[in-house]
């Protein structure tokens, strides 16, 4: 007996579905790299609640810098292996290299932050601005967004050198960076608190 047109159509539908399901599975969004997430968590954990007294302890600072260097080696290995794929992966990697020590570290951090934004991470915008500012500072040029504060032992904290005229506040806002007036207010508060603490007997 010849199969009916209905049964033939059903069979063809089953074949199509059988091939379609694996295709749909392949289109699922990539997952954040667990190792990169752990590296980033460690990078951030050591920086929680840092105080000026921490930086007076040479041994602790040396240990933190050594751990930072090790995290950069781990992150670079993941990058070179093609193991970073999501916006969050690239954003986390940018933070790790933002805590580097050379202009090349900061330039790579900036590239990673730009990749994070390109991969769909809106949170990558701020670190993209901050990494560029730090790279500019390390190459003896003024920052342009105002994300970096400098403090020397006997002087108030400052945003200088700072090219305040190059970009408008509207562009800072796009990157999640406070406006210049907000920056100045925060800096004044930081310096006032530092002065009050220093004046205590």
Is residue 64 domain-shared with residue 123, that is, in the same domain? yes
Quick one: average pLDDT of 79-92? 98
Strand partners, 162: 143
Last residue of a domain, one of 118, 141, 164: 141
21 pLDDT higher than 60? no
Place 194 in a pLDDT band, splitting at 50, 70 and 90.
Answer: confident
Quick one: average pLDDT of 179-191? 97
Domain count, the chain: 2
For the chain, how big is the Rg over CA atoms in Å? 25
Is residue 199 domain-shared with residue 103, that is, in the same domain? no
Percentage of the chain exceeding pLDDT 70: 86
Q: What pLDDT, on a 0 to 100 scale, did the predictor assign at position 24?
A: 42
Torsion 154-155-158-160 (CA) sign:
negative
């Amino acid at each position: 007996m010849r199969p009916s047109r209905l049964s033939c159509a059903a069979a063809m539908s089953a074949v199509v579905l059988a091939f379609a399901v694996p295709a749909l599975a392949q289109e699922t969004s990539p997952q954040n790299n667990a190792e990169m997430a752990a590296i980033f968590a460690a990078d951030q954990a050591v920086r929680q609640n840092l105080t000026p007294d921490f930086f007076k302890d040479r041994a602790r600072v040396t240990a933190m810098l050594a751990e930072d260097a090790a995290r950069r080696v781990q992150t670079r290995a993941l990058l070179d292996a093609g193991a970073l794929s999501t916006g969050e992966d690239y954003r986390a990697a940018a933070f790790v290299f933002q805590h580097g020590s050379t202009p090349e570290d900061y330039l790579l951090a900036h590239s990673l932050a730009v990749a994070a934004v390109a991969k769909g991470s809106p949170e990558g915008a701020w670190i993209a601005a901050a990494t560029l500012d730090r790279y500019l500072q390390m190459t003896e040029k003024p920052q342009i967004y105002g994300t970096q504060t400098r403090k020397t032992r006997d002087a108030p904290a400052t945003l200088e050198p700072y090219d305040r005229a190059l970009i408008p506040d509207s562009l800072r806002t796009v990157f999640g960076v406070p406006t210049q007036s907000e920056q100045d207010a925060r800096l004044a508060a930081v310096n006032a608190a530092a002065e009050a603490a220093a004046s205590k007997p």
